[in-house]
A = this chain, B = another copy of it.
Amino acid sequence: MIPTMSSMDRRVQKSQESIKKAFIELMSEKSFDHITIQDISDRANVGRRTIYDHYMDKFDLLDKLIDEHINELKKLCVSAADMDFTEGNLMWFEYFERNSSFFSTMLASKGAPTFRSHFLKFVIEELAGEVDVTEGKNQGLSKDILLKFFGAAIVEIVTAWITNGLSEPTQVVAEQVGILLDRNL
């Protein structure tokens, strides 16, 4: 049985919370590549042995954090169900803006491929509910091709925007991506 937060041994909760919090702090201070398990251990005030009890390595820890962010984005999607693309996009872009120190240092490190992979998978899942190939402008087109095409486009726009230090205003990027998606999907 998978423990819920309320049934999990509190020592496990505390250790994982400390490790994640420390990792996030460190990622806003230096590149993922330069963070050591020893750094995390010191900052979280838990033993190195304990970190290995919970995570295989720091890539696994990054995986888990990315998954948490993806889950947060999913929640935003649920609450944005009644909105059009631009409105829904703005919520996403604002989320990335709030968490930009995490994402920008991660994208400038060996963690970038992991994030891109997770994010692409997620974006495709979300778009799958928006794309209709049985009628309209996309009738007869491969749904799979459509999803990969626009999924990759979205991932690239988001990661480039973050990597370039949020150089475009959040509203502008959200609007333009919204226009492109409205036109095609």
Question: B-contacting residues of A (Cβ < 8 Å)?
Answer: 10, 14, 45-47
Interface of chain A, helix or strand or loop or mixed?
loop
CA–CA, A46 and B10, complex, Å: 8
Nearest B residue (CB) for A10: B45
Copies of this polypeptide in the complex: 2
What B residues does A46 contact at CB under 8 A? 10
Closest-CB distance, A44 to chain B (whole angstroms): 10
Closest-CB distance, A148 to chain B (whole angstroms): 45
4 interchain pairs, CB-CB under 8 A: A10-B45, A10-B46, A10-B47, A14-B45
CA–CA, A14 and B14, complex, Å: 11
Nearest B residue (CB) for A47: B10
CA–CA, A45 and B10, complex, Å: 8
CA–CA, A46 and B14, complex, Å: 10
Closest-CB distance, A177 to chain B (whole angstroms): 42
Nearest B residue (CB) for A13: B45
What B residues does A14 contact at CB under 8 A? 45
CA–CA, A23 and B45, complex, Å: 22
CA–CA, A71 and B45, complex, Å: 26
Closest-CB distance, A93 to chain B (whole angstroms): 35
What B residues does A45 contact at CB under 8 A? 10, 14
Nearest B residue (CB) for A18: B14
Closest-CB distance, A12 to chain B (whole angstroms): 12
Closest-CB distance, A50 to chain B (whole angstroms): 10
What B residues does A47 contact at CB under 8 A? 10
